[in-house]
Structure 1
Amino acid sequence: MANKKPYVTYVLIAIQVVLFLAMQVMGGSESALTLILFGAKFNPLIAAGEYWRLITPIFLHIGWMHLLINTITLYYLGSMVEEIIGRWKYLAIYLASGIMGNLFSYQFSDNVSAGASTALFGLFAVFLALRNLYPSNRYIQNLGSQYMMLIGMNLVFGFLGSGIDIWGHIGGIVGGFLITMTLMKGEGHDDRKTQRIGSLAVYLIIAIFILLNQGTVNAIMP
């Protein structure tokens, strides 16, 4: 797969850039009303049944710097993950991570939010799962250790900083880890059916619990 172009990553980048430009034209990407119009995470509307808002925030960004940082990260990190695990598994993990990140944000944060970082943290978590699945692969073990440190540093900065949806990041990590454990077989001849089904079940249980609990819906329409 080393010679294949990361086409899924290119498409993901193109989508978020096009949507960002559209938001700029329609009122600005830093306008709460414009963000909500384009599908940002907004708790009252999700509680009212607009569950598609758990997906659309993955592709929306708030300001040029937010877009730039996440696009650069997606290009390098996404290309690496796409090459290692394949296009469709990569896409599934990216979307599932973003959804879980937005579910956590829905549950624990009232703020209007958007950004690819929920999915990007899921891609970080891919290497934690691969580290567990391929214990004899030194390359994967080294990558896993590096990304474990990177995740820890980013979470610390997230807790200390302001304007960062830390719960979205944590949810992305949880989602990315669980779906990677679901999709990847790992080493050996055992196909890990029980563990893979269990990982998927945990993902679904968390998602259903949050939706039934209806998150925190105290946000006020801006």
Structure 2
Amino acid sequence: MQIINRRANAYVTWSLLAITVAVFLLETISGGSQNLLTLIHFGAKTNYLVQEGQWWRLITPIFLHIGIFHILMNGFTLLYVGQILEPMIGHWRFLIVYMLSGIMGNLASFAFGANNAISAGASTSLFGMFAAFLSLAIIYRENRFLTELGKSFLGLIVINLLMDLTMSGIDIWGHIGGAVGGLLLGYALGLPNISRPKMIFRILAIVVVVAISYYMYAKGMIVYG
């Protein structure tokens, strides 16, 4: 089983990072990345605006960050983990995991988070990346490299969620939703050119993703409507 094509370039990772940095610079020159009006203008998630029909606020927060420490932490994590995961699963699979995990994280925040909170950041997508490694470890558990990676990133997920419980201003629901999304999407997509898991299980994972996403969106609209 070929796990990593070391000749492959992680150009999706670098492109996502470039977009994120460019957006942060635009935030900075447009009033500051910690200015609430600037964040709202650039598409930060605010539940009442999503409820009013601005559904794109479930996507745009993935590329927004609040303060220099926030973008440095998430940017380095994206670069480090992305250069491992993207060559492993392929470019388009990586992009799907990154974007849809982020959206599921924002949906979880919309459904279960504080009504008046403003949230932004790539951490929803990053948790999805972490959980994708766990999926691969489950699917290809006979591969020691993947099982060790899965254990490492499972530990990282648990540690970060425990830290979320002790810190204020952290959107723990976004992180949980991103992790759930990454776990299911990683299972649905698997590794390229390998016929595992079976198609029926891939389809089932996709159905669960759609069902959970619809439920969270509907719940958010009911709670905050």
Query: What interval of TM-score do these two structures reach, taking the shorter chain for normalisation?
Result: over 0.9
Distance in 2 between residues matched to 1:190 and 1:154, nearest whole Å: 30
After superposition, the Cα gap between the structure-2 partners of 1:4 and 1:215, relative to the gap in structure 1 and judged at 3 Å, is farther
Aligned counterparts, 1:52-131, within 5 A = 52-109=56-113, 110=115, 111-131=117-137
Q: Give yes or no for contact 2:78–2:126 (8 Å, CA) kept in 1.
A: yes
> Corresponding residue for 1:44?
48
* Identical columns (%): 46
- From 139, 143, 148, give the equivalent of 1:142: 148
Structure 1: runs of 5 or more not aligned: none
Q: Distance in 1 between matches of 2:67 and 2:24?
A: 8
Q: Deviations over 1:123-145 (max 9, x none)?
A: 00011100111011000011111
Structure 1's consecutive aligned runs of 4 or more residues displaced over 2 angstroms after TM superposition are 185-191, 215-218
1:163 aligns with 2:169: yes
Name stretches of at least 5 consecutive residues in structure 2 with no aligned partner.
Answer: none
TM-score, normalised to structure 1, is 0.94
1:75-126 CA distances to partner (integer Å, 9 max, x unpaired)?
A: 0001111011111100000001000000001111121100000000000001
Residues 159 and 187 of structure 1, relative CA distance in 2, 3 Å threshold: farther
Contact 2:164 2:172 in 1 (8 A): yes
Q: Retained in 1: the 8 A contact 2:6–2:87? A: yes
How many residues align? The count is 218
Structure 2 distance, partners of 1:185, 1:75, is 20
Q: How does 1:190-209 map to 2 (within 5 A)?
A: 192-209=198-215
Q: Specify the alignment match of 2:185 in structure 1.
A: 179
| 2:217 pairs with 1:217 | no
Decide whether the 8 Å contact of 1:97 with 1:172 is kept in 2.
yes
Q: Is contact 2:187–2:197 with CA below 8 Å preserved after alignment?
A: no
Secondary structure in 2 aligned to 1:199?
helix
The answer on whether the counterparts of 2:34 and 2:67 sit within 8 Å (CA) in structure 1 is: yes
